[in-house]
Structure 1
């Protein structure tokens, strides 16, 4: 049987959230397609949890498990490895804290059929939450994936998130697609490698997923700071530079921090303002957060290990079965 596509969902605990996602996704999943659930070292066997009991016996579900928490990049690689072994070419990546709108899988398949020479496609992301800080989180997290914006080729320095991203594996050369060394930003490495290989990355405003955004100031700031830490190692592409080189970069970046904050704010706000001029009111807050993120960039340059997992994981999944 030819499997037309597989949707890979990594998760760590939060099984009620996974159940909510499956309830939305399964009605749109073709009988010949697969949904690969990668339990990344959860506290218990997720497939035996009552939250997932109603999905047992569905042949479209494949359950993979890491005994230890290895991170999202490693979990996605585990799912992609299963796809390569089973002849699946179109892989859709979806985070467990997202909910797809109707037609999610069919739209990704249609896009890859129409854009047959494109290796990677990202869809729209709509942040949901209550309060001021959830809106700030949405504006800073999903500016590359505004559902109201136009279809386009994604050029440097822009990127697309790894949720609501689909890949054509026949055009992706690396066996280990996501670099498991990085705590965050692993999709930036994927996009950088694809561009080096001459591949194109596309954004499409459809399909759309909703994401449960952070609602508190500390959660938003912590998330943004963690992403700043990988700027030197991923964006600049340096991990093993000598200390003096990293110090020179840090001092130069400190001198240019105001320019960085202004330019980053411009890139961040431009897609939003093009579709909703009212979003411009958030620019001062976004600018201040980018100044704050600049501190993270400097710390990440002085100590690149802050952006890395302690021990890279290249383990095979401990078990694979249908739910």
Structure 2
């Protein structure tokens, strides 16, 4: 391929002022629930590349946009809040900053199975730290599941804020709701209960279990010995038995030192956990390849933008690389 050339898109369409480059989730394993349609898109002037999301056909666009609006105020290093929202009355969409990254299920597929314990531990601490910040803002994420986690070269990113609230109002059962991962929903939310912080702890446990085994609800003996206790506690059906995030972080970053008093721990900083080698080389290569492909992709702004007023773009609106 000559320098300056790249994948040429065919049948390119736009969403709002953005031209779609590709879907983010094209390589997801079959039947993996994703709570929103996610695209990598570019501004008309070519200067900005973003992650752009639209609601599933089963989701009320107004609830979807309300959650996107609330996510703009999220703080923390490991979350991707919405930065731009569609105007009222237009097709529902919002954008986040583009970070070259792989959805967690794609990462497992490319790796050929569960991720190394070091990787899972690093993801666990980073997400737990960010959820603690979110809860400190009096917010509940209510959307954490394997597909909501993106793995970038410098650490994970959390997306899909408010997916459970957007999918169905509180009080309505959430069992088998399209787009929601049933294994990541805490029992109280499945029954229609209002999402609360300890529900995020359950969802975190299910997501880490998936990263470590390929399943959101594995048998305890399938979990790595070093992660078995904290993940099992997160997955307690009784919210009162789930750990506080501060406890979980201490469990994951503290390690008893020989010759020190019983119970004494030395914390391991997150930046050490996310240091060189935290992510398998094959995944780093895939992230680099994604970044290069997106940078080289040629897009053209269509003459007739798609405007579906809240519905997701049809499959033929998604460009395919030739």
Q: After TM superposition, is the score higher than 0.5?
A: no
TM-score between both structures, scaled by the size of structure 1: 0.31
By percentage of residues, which structure has more strand?
1
By percentage of residues, which structure has more helix?
1
| Higher RCO (CA < 8 A, seq sep 6+) | 2
